[in-house]
Structure 1
C-alpha cells in the first residue's frame, strides 16, 4: 500500500526559503490525479448507498449473534470509515491545496489509514472464516462462536490502530514557499529525536507484507480449499459456486496487485521523469484499489441466497408493483434448478 497519500515532489523542501531548491514540475501528473479524483465522490456515494443497504438488511432481517454477521458488520464499518475520507481527498487533489486546517488533516489522514488497514484485514478474516465454515464445518462449529468473532474483531482494530502510528506522527500540514499552497501529507523534512527515514521504510514494508502479501496468501489459499471442497461434495450448484470463487479471487488480483507492484518498483529517491511516470501509474492503480473497497462488502453479502431473498423482500415492501417480477424470477430459477441433473 502507498506510504503517502499523494505524490507531490518535495524532496528538496526546506524551512528556509533562501536555500529552497526549485522542485520538479509535477503540474501535468497532478492534473491527471485531480481529474481522476472526481471518481472519489461517486465511490463515496456508491459506498454509502451500498453499505447502508447491507446494514439495513442485517438490522431488519438478521441477528447479530452469528460470526458472519459480526464480521460483516465490522467490514462495513471499516469500509465506511475509509470512504468518509475520500471527499476531503478529492477536494484536496483538485485544488492542490488543503483548505480544512491542521486538525482535520490529522483526522482525515488517520481515518484514511485506519479504514484502509482494517478493511484489508476484515476482508481476509471474513474469507478465512468462510473457509473454516465450508471446509471444517463440523470440527469448527464450537470454535466459531461470538467470543471468537469479538476477539478477532478486537485484534483487527488493534493491529490497524497500531499501524496508524506512523501516519499519525508524520501526517501534517506544511506550506510551499514557491506557490504558497498548503499541503496535507507526510512531512518531507526531519523530526527531532525521530529517525524519519527508518520510520518510512518500516512503514512501507509493513504495508507490503501485512496488508498485501499476507491477505493475498490467505485469500487465495482459502478460496482454493473452498473450491476443492465444493467440487468434491458433488453439489448440484458446484459449478456456479466455483465460478463465484474464481471471480472473487480475480477481483482481488485485478484491484490490488497493480497498485502494490507500482509501489514496489520504486520506493525512494528518483529523478523527475521517473517520479512523474510512477505518479501516473499510482493515480490509475490507486482508483482500482479503492473500487474494491466500494464493492467488497456488497459483493460478500449478496452472493448468498439468503441475502438476495432479504433484498427482494425489502424492495417489494417499498415497491409493491415489482412483486410480479420477483415472483416470476423466483419461479424461473426454481424451474431451472429442478431440471438440473446432479453430478
Structure 2
C-alpha cells in the first residue's frame, strides 16, 4: 500500500489535470454586472395599475355582458357578423377575467399559486391577442360585405365564420405559449412571491422575450393597423360613391373607429418596439430602462381600455342594436317610454337593409 504522502501527491496531480483540461482563463470575465434598481418603478406600478385594472374589468363585463345579452335574446347566431361578434365578446371577457388577479398581485404579491400564475398569464395574452385579431377579422368581413357585396355573398357563410374564428383562436393560443412555459412563482425579496418568467437560462428568456416583442408589434399591431386602415378607406370610398343617406355621418363614424384604434394601440406598441431595441443592445442604460417601464404601465392600460370599449363600435353603431338597447331600457325603466320613440323598436326595416346600412345611425 502506498504511503499517505504518495496518495496525496497522486490526488493533487489528478485534480491539476482535471482543472487544466476544463478550465480556460479566456472565458473568465471580471467586469461587474450592472443591475438597475426597480423599487420606484414597482411602487409606481403598485399604485397606478390596480385602479385601472378594476375599472377595465368592470367596464368590460358591463359592456360585453350587455352585448352578449342582446345577441342571445334578440339575435340569431347563424350569421357571419354575429358569430364574429360573439367570439370578440368572449375574447374580451377572457381577457378581462385576468385583470382582478393582476390587480391583487400589484397590491401585494402573487398568492394564487403556480398553476394560476400560468393560466392567468396565458388567459391575459390569449384574450388580448384574439381580441385584436377578431376586430381585424370583423373589419375585413365588413369590407367584403360593402365593397364586394355580390361576390362575397357566396363565400360569407356560417362555415366561413366558424373556420376563421377557429384559426384566430389557434393563432392566439400559439402566440401565448411562452407565458405557459416560462411563467412561474418564485420568492423575490423584498417583493415576496412574484409571478414572472423563471426556470430557464437568462439567454433563453431574453431571446423569447425579444420574439414576443417583435411578434406583438408586427403581427398584432402593424398588420392589423394596415388592414383596418385599408378596409375602412375602401369602405369610405364606396359609401361616398353611393346615394346612401347620412353618408357624412357614416364617414365620421369610420374615422372615429380608425382614430380610436390608432390612439389606443400605437403608444403601447411603440413602447414595445423601444423595449425590444433596448433589450437587444449590449449596453443598457438604467434611466432608459426605467422610463420605458413607466411608459409601459401607462400605455398598456390605454390599450387594455380599447379591448373593453371595442364592442360599442361594432354593435351600437347599427340601427338594429340601437333598437334592441332601447327596448331593454324601456323594459327595465318604464319612465323612459315617453322619451324613446317606440317606432324605432321595429326591426322590419333592418331585415331589408342594404350592405351599407349598418353604418347608418
CA–CA distance in 2 between the matches of 1:23 and 1:201? 19
Report the secondary structure of 1:173's partner residue: strand
Cα offsets for 1:48-98 (capped at 9, x unmatched): 111110011111110001100000000000000001111111111222x21
Q: Which of residues 300, 306, 312 in structure 1 aligns to 2:320? A: 306
Cα offsets for 1:249-286 (capped at 9, x unmatched): 00001000001111112320632211111111111111
Per residue, is there more helix in 1 or in 2? 2
Measured after TM superposition, the shift of residue 188 of structure 1 is: 7.8
1:209 maps to 2:222: no
Q: Report the equivalent of 2:17.
A: none
1:43 maps to 2:56: yes
Q: Report the equivalent of 1:98.
A: 110
CA contact 2:41–2:290 (8 Å) conserved in 1: yes
Moved more, 35-44 or 300-309: 35-44
Cα offsets for 1:309-330 (capped at 9, x unmatched): 0100111112111110102996
- Equivalent pairs, count: 308
Task: Name structure 2 gaps, 5 residues minimum.
Answer: 1-31, 346-361
Q: Report the equivalent of 1:322.
A: 336
Cα offsets for 1:8-34 (capped at 9, x unmatched): xxxxxxxxxxxx978432222222222
Q: Report the equivalent of 1:149.
A: 161
CA–CA distance in 2 between the matches of 1:254 and 1:50? 20
CA–CA distance in 2 between the matches of 1:141 and 1:297? 24
Q: Report the equivalent of 1:184.
A: 195
Task: Name structure 1 gaps, 5 residues minimum.
Answer: 1-19, 332-343
TM-score by length of 2: 0.81
CA contact 2:56–2:308 (8 Å) conserved in 1: yes
Q: Report the equivalent of 2:87.
A: 74
Q: Which of residues 196, 209, 214 in structure 2 aligns to 1:200? A: 209
CA–CA distance in 1 between the matches of 2:33 and 2:275? 23
1:173 maps to 2:185: yes
Report the secondary structure of 1:24's partner residue: coil
Larger Rg: 2
Measured after TM superposition, the shift of residue 145 of structure 1 is: 0.6
Q: Report the equivalent of 1:244.
A: 253
Structure number with the bigger relative contact order (C-alpha 8 A, sep ≥ 6) is: 1
Q: Report the equivalent of 2:145.
A: 133
Q: Report the equivalent of 1:339.
A: none
> Once superposed, what is the RMSD of the aligned Cα atoms?
2.1
Measured after TM superposition, the shift of residue 144 of structure 1 is: 0.3
Q: Which of residues 115, 120, 129 in structure 2 aligns to 1:117? A: 129
Measured after TM superposition, the shift of residue 200 of structure 1 is: 2.5
